[in-house]
Amino acid sequence: MDSWFTVNKIDDQTFAISEYKHYEETHCYLVLGQEKAALVDTGLGVCNIKNVVDGLTKLPIIVLTTHVHWDHIGGHKYFDNVAVHEAEKEWIAVNFPLPLEDVKKSLTKVACDFPKEFNIDNYQVFRGIPQKILHDGDVVDLGGRKIQTTHTPGHSPGHCCFYEPEKKYLYSGDLIYKGCLYAFYPTTYPQLFYQSIKRVQKYNIKRVLPGHHELNISTSLISKIESGFSHLDSKGKLKQGNGLFVFEDFQIKI
């Protein structure tokens, strides 16, 4: 197993694959069914995540993309069955909305112990034709486990959370996590972000599996974030350009 990744068992059939050596502290999730497995996001792409996945399962893999940002699609290049939401199919197939040099600066802005085989000069943002286009409400059946696609725009136009009704897991991508929630990019929409938070509140959730930072977070964080957005909205500040707002367990940058 490559030392770049850390694997944590969520349950006997669910694993978090994390990149704690990098400041992004990304989490990807391997979800095992009886017939196939889903990999929710593929991380930074500075090391081969497929080697880790192959050490955990021999099932065929479908990659479920929470959103087409560089830090969530870096390892897509190692898989041949990729699913993205319809709103971001052009981003992944034609034109990622951020210049490569900006991505490289973001990737390396904080010093870390990159894998010895990693060379920033050779780094590319993944581009490819998705094999599956996701829509709100789509269900991916892994055999004995079903994962529901929930379109949660705001952080990006095609951002999705994935909800597992039986286990009541929410794979939350960049919608819910402890850290700074970003809604200041030109392709972000603070009001939609707020509405997406309110939408996932309606689910019966026993565990939130976030895209970044602390892995073991309370489901109460969802309501705390909703309250933060509600507060900014009531003050007329839920508009891009208003800056960074600090709350107890998270920040919102708009």
Show pLDDT as tens, one digit a residue, over the chain (254 residues). 459 999 999 999 999 999 999 999 999 999 999 999 999 999 999 999 999 999 999 999 999 999 999 999 999 999 999 999 999 999 999 988 889 999 999 999 999 999 999 999 999 999 999 999 999 999 999 999 999 999 999 999 999 999 999 999 999 999 999 999 999 999 999 999 999 999 999 999 999 999 999 999 999 999 999 999 999 999 999 999 999 999 999 999 99
Over the range 90-114, which residues count as b (16 or more CB within 10 Å of their CB) and which as e? ebbeeebebeeeebbeebeeeeeeb
Phi (first) and psi of residue 167, to 5 degrees: -90, -15
| End-to-end alpha carbon distance in the chain | 39
Which residues fall within 8 angstroms of residue 181, CB to CB, at 6 or more apart? 155, 174, 175, 193, 225, 250, 251, 252, 253
Which residue matches tokens 């009531």? 234
| Superfamily holding 6-219 | Ribonuclease Z/Hydroxyacylglutathione hydrolase-like (3.60.15.10)
Cα separation, 178 vs 249, whole angstroms: 6
